[in-house]
Structure 1
Amino acid sequence: MRLCVCLVLLSSILCASADLSAIPRAGRFAVDAAGGAWDMLRAYWDMREANYKNADKYFHARGNYDAAQRGPGGAWAAKVISDAREKWQSDVSGRGAEDTRADQEANEWGRNGGDPNRYRPKGLPSKY
């Protein structure tokens, strides 16, 4: 996960410096991307802390939702991190195509402005 955050930050800096005529817009994109990466990391930390059965889709949707609310940079960061995480999970952890599909559905739902509570399991503490 740390590698994903570093890659997102580096990519957003490179994107921001690519077009000098668009520095204000690119700077906003970079700030939103960094904030979106932070939102994704916070959702991951909360998921680990909660350690609640069947809650992973909720945290996927919530992280993507929070990141996308920042704007195009946040949505971009959420997509990059989500895709990298799912690629790693399918290639390394052996969790399977069905789980990856379900995770990506929750990612896209949140990123497109859908209410993450659609995936909230009963009994998950209100803290989350």
Structure 2
Amino acid sequence: MRLCICFVLLSIVLYASADNPFSSGIKFVRDAAGGARDMWRAYRDMREANYIGADKYFHARGNYDAARRGPGGAWAAKVISDAREGWQSRVSGRGAEDTRLDQEANEWGRRGGDPNRFRPAGLPSKY
């Protein structure tokens, strides 16, 4: 996971410096860094909750929070989500269907959909 975050931060710097004027690049980088933190918070909460059936909720919530920051946050959420799903699909043994459903939750959140659509009954209100 740390390697993924390092990759995202390096990509942010390269993207911001190559494709954006300096003034808008700073906001993009700030939003992307905040989006990466949002994704990390959702992942940390998912691990802490350790609640069966809640992973799609945390996928949607992380992407939702990140995307609300703006284009940089949405970009970071997509990069992190795609990297995580690519890695997970190779090592978890859960299969293509689980990856597809995770990506559906990721995209739902990035589009501004309410993450509670995926919230399982009984998940503590802390999350």
Partner residue, 2:2? 2
Measure, in 2, the Cα distance between the counterparts of 1:79 and 1:28. Answer: 18
TM-score by length of 2: 0.97
Partner residue, 2:47? 48
Measure, in 2, the Cα distance between the counterparts of 1:19 and 1:64. Answer: 23
1:72 is displaced (CA, Å) by 0.3
Partner residue, 1:89? 88
Measure, in 2, the Cα distance between the counterparts of 1:15 and 1:100. Answer: 27
Measure, in 1, the Cα distance between the counterparts of 2:89 and 2:59. Answer: 16
Partner residue, 2:118? 119
Q: Output one character per residue of 1:58-95: Cα deviation in whole Å (capped at 9) or x when no partner.
A: 00000000000000000000000000111111112221
Structure 2: unaligned runs, 5 residues or longer: none
Measure, in 1, the Cα distance between the counterparts of 2:73 and 2:38. Answer: 9
Partner residue, 1:74? 73
2:17 alignment partner AA: S
CA-based RMSD of the aligned residues comes to 1.0
Q: Output one character per residue of 1:20-56: Cα deviation in whole Å (capped at 9) or x when no partner.
A: 7x11101111111111011000000000000011000
Partner residue, 1:13? 13
1:13 alignment partner AA: V
TM-score by length of 1: 0.96
Measure, in 1, the Cα distance between the counterparts of 2:87 and 2:60. Answer: 18
Partner residue, 1:26? 25
Query: Alpha carbons of 1:19 and 1:54: their partners in 2 closer, same or farther (altered >3 Å)?
Result: closer
1:16 is displaced (CA, Å) by 1.9
| Identity within the alignment, % | 79
